[in-house]
Structure formats: structure tokens, C-alpha cells
Amino acid sequence: MRFCILASGSSGNSSIVITEGTRILLDAGLSARRLTSMLAAAGETMGSVDAVFITHEHSDHSSGIESLKKYPHLKFFANSATARAVQKTLTWTPAWQIFETGSSFRYRDIDVESFSIPHDAHDPVGFRFTSGLDDLFSPRRTLTWVTDLGHAPPSVRERLRESDVIVVEANHCPRMLEADPKRSWTLKRRIGGRHGHLSNERMSELLSSVANPRWQRIYLAHLSRDCNSRDAVESALTALRLVLKCDFSIVGHGEGTPFYEIA
């Protein structure tokens, strides 16, 4: 299994996960034109993508679905509340594949587990993707995706612990958020609340609280363009780097990553 983050941040989120048997997008918060361009830069095409998995209905994760109607082969996986919320914004009806939050199912050669996360959307979820035959030539590997959450309950921590690679948000620096002149007091409270977004400090507390993880690499994503910076994230990582024996990548402000193979 290998994957890359095409874009991450408040301006739009999408990633591609590739196995021997399928290609899926995780979220589609950018137009089909931009997604096509980003996929081409990564050596892929939209025509080769089989499905799109949607974490929640907020526009930076779902706004591209309208323009993906030109690709009728795509399947769209979402829970019923998310699908209903997204459908209200569309002029067409995608091939929805509805799952129940908390359920596990198989799509082609990927085992998919959905789980609830605390965010101010209808029914937001994180995903665990596991693939491989569990032998010498094809070991089973797991990628877990949790962004857009205000805090991490025990169920989320356990799923992170059992993963080889995780993507977790480091959305904002509390001091930068408090000083930001563009956001109202109400919006600042929402972002920093228990159903908002993880700050750098909460991200660090979360990762340091997970006992005996098997992480190869941690991606810190969904950085706020106005209320966070690489330096602020690096500062929060200072102690973590001494404790966690894995690699870190910081992804934000709309940028993406090279492919990473989960070996």
C-alpha cells in the first residue's frame, strides 16, 4: 500500500491511496480540474481512480464532488448523514455506497474501518485502511486518517496505536489563533473547542499519550494558513521527537507530499 497527500488545508483536502487492486481518493475538496492536475503530477489519472471516501461534508473535503460527475465510473463512500448533507449541494446523484459509522467492510483488496470523530459536522468519521496478505512478500499494513477533530477519545487513540502510518491534524497554534484579526471570537471558540480542530499542543499530547505504537511515519496535516506555521509545529514536536522513534512530515497550506510506500 502506498499513498500521497495531494493537498491539505482549509483551501481543500484530498489524498490518494493505492494498492495492487485499487486506487481510492480520500476526500475531494478541490475541483476535478485541480484534482486531475495534482494526480497527473503524481503520475496518476482520475480515470484510474475507483472510488472516493468522504470523511464529512464540509466544503474543504467535499466541494469537488459536483465537478466529478464527468467521471461516472466513480463510487462514493460515505455514511448516510454525510451523503445527505453533500447531496443537497449537488446537481447530480453520485453512486453512493452507504456505510454505517463504526462499521468495517472490504472494498476490493482494502479492509476499511470507519470510526466516529468529534467535529462540528453531521457525522464525521476517520478511516483505517489495511491491505496485504500477511505473508513475507505482502505484509499487512495499516494507514489511519484522523483530521478535523477537537479532541481524541480513547477509541481514536486505540486505532492510531494499531497503525503503521497515521495522518493527524496539527491545525493551529492557540496564540496565533487568538491574535488572528480575520476570525470572530465565536469562530475562534469553535475552532479551539472540543468539536473543532486539534491545536499543535493537543496533537502533541495525543501522540505522546498513545502507548506502544508501531508507527513508521506520522503526517501532521490540515495546518491553518493564518493560524499556524511550520516553526510552531516544530516547536510542539521538540519533545515528541525524543520519545517517538519514527519519521515526521508536516503538510499544510494547500501543499501535498510525494508517495510513501508503507512497507
- Tens digits of per-residue pLDDT, 17-67? 999 999 999 999 999 999 999 999 999 999 999 999 999 999 999 999 999
For residue 8, CA distances in Å to 48, 61, 153, 192 come to 22, 9, 23, 19
Q: What is the pLDDT of residues 98-137, one digit of tens each?
A: 999 999 999 999 999 999 999 999 999 999 999 998 887 7
Measured between its terminal Cα atoms, the distance across the chain in Å is 8
DSSP 159-223: HHHT-SEEEEE--B-HHHHHH-SSS-HHHHHHHHSTTS--BHHHHHHHHHHS-S---SEEEEEEE
Reported pTM: 0.96
Give mean pLDDT, residues 187-195. 97
| Domain 2-261, CATH number (from 3.20.20.70, 3.60.15.10, 3.30.1950.10, 3.90.170.10) | 3.60.15.10
Q: What is the pLDDT of residues 123-176, one digit of tens each?
A: 999 999 999 988 877 889 999 999 999 999 999 999 999 999 999 999 999 999
d(CA 173, CA 171): 7
What lies within 8 Å, CB to CB, of 135 at 6+ separation is: none
pLDDT for the residue numbered 254? 85
User: Per-domain residue ranges for the chain?
Assistant: 2-261
pLDDT for the residue numbered 137? 79
